[in-house]
Chains A and B, each alone.
Chain A
Amino acid sequence: MLYLASTTGAEAPITEHAAESHGYLTFHAPDAHLLTFIFWTWVMMAIVIVVAVLARKGVGIIPKGWAGAMEHIYDWIVDLSLNMMGKEGLRYIPFAMTIFLFVLASNWLALLPLPTIHFGEEAGAYDFKMHVSGPPVIGGREFHELALEAPSGNQNTTLALALISFVAFTFYGLRKHYERARYGGGHHHHDVPGEAPDESHHDPEPSHDHPVLDPFGATMVGFLSWLAHFIEPTPTLWRSLDGVLRYALVPLLCILFLFLNIIEEFARIISLTIRLFGNIFGEHQVKAGLLLAMGAFAGLAVGGIKAAAAGAVLGGGLLSVLLWASSVFVTLLGALAGFIQAFIFMVLSLSYIAHAVADEH
């Protein structure tokens, strides 16, 4: 399943052959597998949209049904972003909540497995497979079984999410620099953290009546000041040093900071990708391993019934029940981990945005 692993070594010709023979854009994965992920991503998005539409019906002074749950999440994210950025944070709540709901739903999708364990030689054979009655047709292609898998258990999904987050915080940073250049200052969001949002909720950026610069000039100045954040600690260092050190050391460090900041941008994408993917994928592997072992011991017990061997029946049955119980425990743990990972993904995206739009002093 981890096709990164099969790009080199003995399996490489097989994988390439598989990718070639199916003729899809595959990223080193057999198309059936990737299409399964895409299929479940669409199912998951449909679920999220249906829940959101249902939640709209209960909106009111006393929220009903799904609206209560949604408002709870909303309030919680509002508190979080107020703590992080003050009133400025209210602008980024739609993005944060979208990310959170998407990741949460995709982490929790595979928690309701109807698992039948599929034994096979191909990569990804030890995933949960759900047998559907009658082969479904996706993209003009018959599927004889559909693995019910979390979309976030695939590196392609998490990479896409991380790239969305990257684009978002870059765009918000650029927009903030533009606004600061056009309207000047932008220092009006030093609110007390945790302060309740007031009536200016819908327009957290007041006083846009007197622009300082015209749009073109503001774009230029904003873009330059955005570029300047790539050499970030340099101005502070310049101010705090003097004499020989200032002229000898600061230019060198400036180049170093430039490279570090550029590397940091990529490191953010990679760490967002790998963290979510590794967590969900690892948890699924543990669960799949437990269920595989359960199947093996259950097979031993069934074989014991046929051979009338009491020891095999007892030992195999007991062990398979134990393994099943621990797989239930791992599933519950997975629910908790899925929630925490969705939270972490959202909080990290928010904190990158907070860093991008922060005032430099």
Chain B
Amino acid sequence: MTVGMFAALAAGIAIGLGTIGTGIGQGIAISHAMDAMGRNPEASGTVRTSLLIGLAFVESLCIYALVIAFMLMGKVQ
């Protein structure tokens, strides 16, 4: 096992675990936003804006994992 092999493994694990967490989180957020929009359609504009901002914050965690994965891929020989 070389550093490169570990790096390849780590890149896969990083992006995999990262997407699991953010996927669940974004799913919960979207589900609740849909509930809110269904119950109160007048507020859907506000809800959509806050939803997108929230999704951006959650998604940035996944993007960090992606960047880390790319950095690790740079070490794969």
Interface residues of A (CB under 8 A from B): 2, 4-6, 8-11, 80, 83, 271, 274-275, 277-279, 281-282, 285, 340, 343-344, 347-348, 351
Taking CB atoms, residues of chain A closer than 8 Å to B49 are: 80, 83, 347
Identify the closest chain A residue to B74 (Cβ). A5
Asked if B64 contacts A344 (CB within 8 A), the reply is no
Asked if B56 contacts A344 (CB within 8 A), the reply is yes
Q: Would you call B63 an interface residue if the criterion is a C-beta within 8 Å of the partner chain's C-beta atoms? A: yes
Query: Which of A9, A277, A285, A340 interacts with B75 by CB under 8 Å?
Result: A9
Taking CB atoms, residues of chain A closer than 8 Å to B52 are: 340, 343-344, 347
Kindly provide the distance from the CB of B49 to the nearest chain A CB, expressed in whole angstroms: 7
Asked if A2 contacts B71 (CB within 8 A), the reply is yes
Taking CB atoms, residues of chain B closer than 8 Å to A9 are: 74-75
Task: Known pairs A4-B71, A274-B63; list 8 more (Cβ under 8 Å).
Answer: A5-B70, A5-B71, A5-B73, A10-B77, A274-B60, A343-B52, A344-B52, A351-B53
Chain B CB within 10 Å, residue with most, of A4, A5, A8, A281: A5
> 8 shortest A-B CB distances, which residue pairs?
A5-B74, A278-B63, A344-B56, A5-B71, A275-B60, A2-B70, A278-B67, A282-B66
Question: Can you identify 13 A-B contacts, CB atoms within 8 angstroms?
Answer: A4-B67, A4-B71, A5-B70, A9-B75, A10-B77, A80-B49, A83-B46, A274-B64, A275-B56, A275-B60, A278-B66, A344-B56, A347-B52
Kindly provide the distance from the CB of B32 to the nearest chain A CB, expressed in whole angstroms: 19
Q: Which of B47-70 contact A (CB under 8 A)?
A: 49, 52-53, 56, 59-60, 63-64, 66-67, 70
Taking CB atoms, residues of chain B closer than 8 Å to A83 are: 45-46, 49
Identify the closest chain B residue to A275 (Cβ). B60
Asked if A275 contacts B53 (CB within 8 A), the reply is no
Taking CB atoms, residues of chain B closer than 8 Å to A343 are: 52
Taking CB atoms, residues of chain A closer than 8 Å to B59 are: 275, 279
A282 to B60, CA, bound (A): 12
Chain A contact surface mostly: helix
In the complex, per-residue mask of B4-46: 1 if CB is within 8 Å of any chain A CB, else 0: 0000000000000000000000000000000000000000011
Asked if B53 contacts A348 (CB within 8 A), the reply is yes
Asked if B74 contacts A2 (CB within 8 A), the reply is yes
Identify the closest chain B residue to A8 (Cβ). B75
A348 to B59, CA, bound (A): 14
Given contacts A2-B74, A83-B46, are A279 and B63 in contact (CB under 8 A)?
yes
Given contacts A83-B46, A340-B52, A347-B49, are A5 and B75 in contact (CB under 8 A)?
yes
Taking CB atoms, residues of chain B closer than 8 Å to A80 are: 49
A132 to B37, CA, bound (A): 50
Asked if A271 contacts B60 (CB within 8 A), the reply is yes
Identify the closest chain B residue to A343 (Cβ). B52
A6 to B56, CA, bound (A): 28
Taking CB atoms, residues of chain A closer than 8 Å to B63 are: 274-275, 278-279, 282
Taking CB atoms, residues of chain A closer than 8 Å to B56 are: 275, 344, 347-348
Identify the closest chain B residue to A271 (Cβ). B60
A5 to B75, CA, bound (A): 7
Taking CB atoms, residues of chain A closer than 8 Å to B66 are: 278, 282
Kindly provide the distance from the CB of A169 to the nearest chain B CB, expressed in whole angstroms: 15
Chain B CB within 10 Å, residue with most, of A80, A274, A278: A278
Identify the closest chain A residue to B62 (Cβ). A278
